[in-house]
Amino acid sequence: MKKVAIIGASGYSGIELTKLIKQHPYLEISGLFVSETSTDKYKNINELYPEVIGTIDYILKPLIAHEFDFINDNCDYVCLCTDHFVSLNLAKKFLSMDKVVVDLSGAFRLENKEYYEKYYGFMHNHSDLLDFADYGLAEWNKNSISSSKLIAVPGCYPTAALMALKPLKKCGLIEENNKIIVNAVSGISGAGRKATLNNSFCEVSLKPYGLFTHRHTPEINQYLGIDVLFTPHVGNFKRGILETIYVELNEWVTTEQIEDSFKYYQNMHLVRVLNKRLPTIDGVVGTPFVDIGWESQGNQLIIVVAIDNLLKGAASQAVQCMNLNCGLPSEHGLL
């Protein structure tokens, strides 16, 4: 059994990760931690999430000095479900203990350190780790994840977009002189657990945000190798992401070539290519699956992709990465 510490365990991604590791046959929770100033410290996790009463029973410990010693002595993996800037500094410390760090924040996803000031609002003071980190898109980066010490779990929106677009890019089907448009909508849980007026359920209407400035735009561009026009929306539902993606294909591309490109996923158990049956949010919520469907007319392709933002967009993808790092199939313990 490999032992896992979860930092920031009281958040939505943290509880989902806790649930997944609790029932995993090869991973074991060694401790759940929150910040020293958190109002959740010393509470039982099932006080915050009553759905796990009777099945999960862990005290949320504040991450104070002697807990670092505990993690050093008792853990193989450290999962950071923390704010980007918090992850930035904690990762360095845990790497110095020779732990494998699985970071669910955006602190190590981008290669260009200048983007952190522009898109994240802070100066990246550990830019040496940007080249050291491996991007945790499990279906595409298996080899690098398998040997990595610092895994940057992809953002939720980029996960959906890249899973839809990378097969087409790999096969050279995209007409690269036309802008790809990614129109995405996420449930309110994507904003995190800390309440503000903007993410109060009664205040939320379907609305766009972050036009031209969202931090996931450079992430999609970097790992696709093509610039996209990305517009996120927030909807008044709890969880799930649905993206409708508009792609101009090369004029010579046939329907059969589109189908063949998505055969890349044919032996990957967590990807369901529905072809012309279009995905829905209800079809993926509470699951680790990526659902991909599409229709074409001439050289215009519309792809629809759906994921659970807290699972494939965060916690279950982190488990996939730990599985690969342990030499297991990426879907181990998730099906």
- Write down the catalytic residue from 156, 171, 321, 326: 156
CA count, 13 A, side-chain hemisphere, 100: 23
Query: Residue 253 in 3-state DSSP?
Result: coil
**Nearest-CA neighbor of 323 among 100, 124, 169, 39?**
100
Q: Encode 216-251: b = buried (16+ Cβ within 10 Å), e = exposed.
A: bbbbbbbbbeeebebbbebbebebbbbbebbbbbee
DSSP 149-217: SEEEPPPHHHHHHHHHHHHHHHTT-B-TTS-EEEEEEE-GGGG-SS--GGG-GGG--SEE--TTT-THH
Is 75 among the residues known to form the active site?
no
User: How many CB atoms are located within 10 Å of the residue 195 CB?
Assistant: 10
- Our CA angle for 62, 67, 72, nearest 5°, is 145
CA distance 306 to 293: 9
Residue with tokens 């735009």: 217
User: Which amino acids are annotated catalytic?
Assistant: 156
